[in-house]
Structure 1
Amino acid sequence: MTDTTVFVRSQMEPAALPPKRSTGLVAWLRTNLFATPGDTAMTIIAMLFVAWLVPPLWQFLVTDAVWSDPEGLRGEACRFEGVGACWVFIQGRFNFFIYGFYPVDQIWRVNVMFLLGIIFILPLLVPRAPFKRTAAVMFFLVYPVVAYFLMAGGVFGLRPVPTNFWGGLTLTLIISLIGIIASTPIGILLALGRQSKLPIIKAFCVGFIELWRAVPLITVLFMASVMFPLFMPQGVSVDNLARAIVGIILFESAYMAEVVRGGLQAMPRGQYEAAYALGLNKPKTMGLIILPQALKHVIPGIVNTFIALFKDTSLVSIIGIFELLNTVRAAGSDINWSSPTHAVTGYIFAGFVFWVFCFAMSRYSIYMERRLHTGHKR
């Protein structure tokens, strides 16, 4: 009888490598850039556009740029023919772009404020960080008071610094942070009020939202700066920065309300019925069941509103507040720094700063969407 055991493997053969055409750089290019004739054409057009755009930008921003000013020429260092970006202008006025007119010997107070803000907000941004409730209390209740007295002074021996000395990126972050924190709960309340069955509450919320959405932010800022003091009692005045912040909060809360309302309307009726079947009343149903799901669904819209608010802070320059963009514009008018490219360089710097913060918010939004999706991701 023939022995068949010689034809049976005693060990598994090692797994064969995948075909070279299905892995590596060539496979990625074929799948993502050259999958179809249309994709190939678009890829070629994009490559030609990049080849046309990148070399002159690189030449202006890097190769022909002025990076140092060892002789202290300031604007004269960038007045030669064929000179690119005047980065020495950014270096020379960097403190002004960040801190505005804040006294140089008191800048440490601004730095301490930033450091405390980072320490308090990090536990809120990291999902697995401990002591979230403590961090929330410190950031939303304690930190605003500490930050205000650090900036304004007048206590504990700190020299008073009026708000008209605040400026630059510091003021941009202050306005946007206060606007984001304050407009979010107001917007949620307005969205809930707009769905209320009580006619008075619903009419008030609808009127508030439609009023503030119907006027440009520039008009709101002009009204807050010029018209509002006319309605105040004799001898009573409100700080110009405070008026601008209040106007921005009310303006952005109307847009936030519509974003949240979209999430509330997207919730199926079954969620309400299930909550009522469990014996939950309306406040608990809304706070524990509906709102968490609705806010999760509209994270992109909420972050989009935050980004728009952050960029809209540049509009406060029209009422004489020196945020980042206005400090760049003011520094550009200095005759000592006058050159053919210093203004363009300043705007490039301001645009890059805005892009960094907006891109960071966008990426964090994507991270939170991926973390919170529970079966609804497509």
Structure 2
Amino acid sequence: MSDRKSTIAFVRDHMLDQQPPPRGEVGATKWIKENLFSGWFNTILTLVSIFVIYSGLSAIIPWAFGGVWNASSLAECREILDGAHAACWAVINERWRQIFYGTFFPASEYWRTHVAFVLLLVAIAPVLFDRVPRKLLIVTAAYPFLMVWLIWGGSLWGPLAVAAGFAVVFYAAKVAGRYTGSGLSALIAVVSGLIWWFAIGPLFVWALDSIVPLFPLREIQSRELGGFVISMIIGVSGIALSLPIGIVLALGRKSDLPLVKMMCVGFIEFFRGVPLITLLFTASLLLNYFLPPSVTFDLTVRVIVMVTIFSSAYMAEVIRGGLAALPKGQYEAADALGLDYWQAQRLIIMPQALKISIPGIVNTFIGLFKDTTLVFFIGIFDMLAAAQSIRANSEWNGITWELYIFIGLIFWVCCFSMSRYSQWLEQKLRTDHR
């Protein structure tokens, strides 16, 4: 009996080779099984969805990719198609300049918009990506003035004088801060800047232009701007200006000073409760009634101001949500370090609040950029107005889908790029490492 027991092995004396997992438990097969065919109901939904997608694509793909790209009119397109149901992309090939630059922008000056767009990419690169050389921030600071000069033209002395006004504000605040409190020094700085911009600066520009104009360009009126160019001008200006204004409004709404808080709350609630189209009509029609007869206020500038104010109200609420999401311990930690209010906001509170608010901030930016199409209703010839103008032409009267699909694709590319960047930034700033 003992000999028999000794021949029984209770411990394996050699290892088995590793076997691959079943095909149905890994990779795409597993994902399809768990997400598309996990039960009878999901299986039915999957099959119905496949049928709907197939039906749509089977009609859209031949229409889109079987279209005509070379024709001078809709009638010629139809002759080439000979009754086939396909797109007439020739309208894009023929009128893309009108969609991008507008109807009235002079063709000889297209290069200025190209240079402005390239400089825009260079200017925002160091702001969006930390690996870009910091020296390019000089281009970021100079871009607003260069953009105005490139788009509207005239002598470069004008933008330089406006830039000099900010230097006047800085040095006035610095000098006044040595002898007065922060509140009074800020007031002195603002007054000094206004005096320079509206009184002294124009005299300097007039004198210098009469002596030696600096790189003069052909002047472009706002009514000549249009298409994608005007959408970019209004959108980028509104995005760049609404974020800092929204931060100030959010801090003002959480302020302990009753007057500051009441003013910020009133501003935010008023502009959030008024449709943007109403503000645009106000900028277009009513604002001139409140200005002196001799004062001319450019329509594009008025629209940028109204769009910025409207977006700032929404931005303030997004940032206030980020501030409210911070635990109280962060504020207490700033106090324990002996930081004053502005140091705490700059070094501890605001960076964390902005990180939390990234999705809401980008969502507001996307909404602002798409809302630039509303300027069509106040007589600014954006891409929608260009499409209407093209359709009103006898050569392309009757065409619809191709124009609006192309314009929609342009907006989608811009908005999708902003969305992807926000997702990348969220992943880059993650600190939980889960």
TM-score by length of 2: 0.79
Unaligned segments of structure 2, at least 5 residues: 1-5, 156-214
Show the counterpart of 1:352.
409
Counterpart of 2:69 (choices 67, 76, 79) is 67
Show the counterpart of 2:187.
none
Counterparts of 2:343 and 2:42, CA distance in 1 = 51
2:139 alignment partner AA:
M
Equivalent residue runs for 1:4-83 within 5 Å: 15-63=18-66, 65-69=67-71, 73-80=72-79, 81-83=83-85
Q: 2:123 matched to 1:120?
A: yes
Counterpart of 1:109 (choices 109, 112, 128) is 112
Q: Deviations over 1:21-62 (max 9, x none)?
A: 223432231133222333323222211211221111123222
Percent identity, aligned pairs only, is 43
Counterparts of 2:393 and 2:433, CA distance in 1 = 55
Moved more, 277-286 or 306-315: 277-286
RMSD over aligned CA atoms reads: 2.0
Show the counterpart of 2:314.
255
1:165 alignment partner AA:
E
Counterpart of 1:95 (choices 94, 97, 108) is 97
Show the counterpart of 1:129.
132
- Greater relative contact order (CA < 8 Å, ≥ 6 in sequence): 1
Counterparts of 1:31 and 1:136, CA distance in 2 = 49
Counterpart of 1:197 (choices 251, 256, 268) is 256
1:207, CA displacement in angstroms?
A: 0.3
Show the counterpart of 2:184.
none
Q: Deviations over 1:42-90 (max 9, x none)?
A: 2222112112211111232222x22222xxx422223454442210001
4+ residue runs over 6 A deviation? none
1:372 alignment partner AA:
L
Show the counterpart of 2:276.
217
Q: Is the 8 A contact 1:221 1:319 kept in 2?
A: yes
Helix, strand or coil for the counterpart of 1:336? coil
TM-score by length of 1: 0.91
Helix, strand or coil for the counterpart of 2:395? helix
Show the counterpart of 1:371.
428
2:403 alignment partner AA:
G
Counterparts of 1:152 and 1:194, CA distance in 2 = 37
1:284, CA displacement in angstroms?
A: 1.4
Helix, strand or coil for the counterpart of 2:64? helix
Counterparts of 2:216 and 2:131, CA distance in 1 = 39
1:8, CA displacement in angstroms?
A: 5.6
Counterparts of 1:226 and 1:178, CA distance in 2 = 22
Q: Is the 8 A contact 1:121 1:135 kept in 2?
A: no
Q: Which has the larger radius of gyration?
A: 2
Counterparts of 1:39 and 1:128, CA distance in 2 = 46
Q: Is the 8 A contact 2:122 2:139 kept in 1?
A: no
Moved more, 194-203 or 269-278: 269-278
Instruction: Count matched residues.
Output: 362
Helix, strand or coil for the counterpart of 2:400? helix
1:292, CA displacement in angstroms?
A: 0.8
Counterparts of 1:39 and 1:127, CA distance in 2 = 45
Counterparts of 1:26 and 1:267, CA distance in 2 = 42
Counterparts of 2:124 and 2:268, CA distance in 1 = 30
Show the counterpart of 2:160.
none
1:14, CA displacement in angstroms?
A: 5.9
Show the counterpart of 2:152.
152
Helix, strand or coil for the counterpart of 1:337? coil
Counterparts of 2:334 and 2:18, CA distance in 1 = 53
Show the counterpart of 1:362.
419
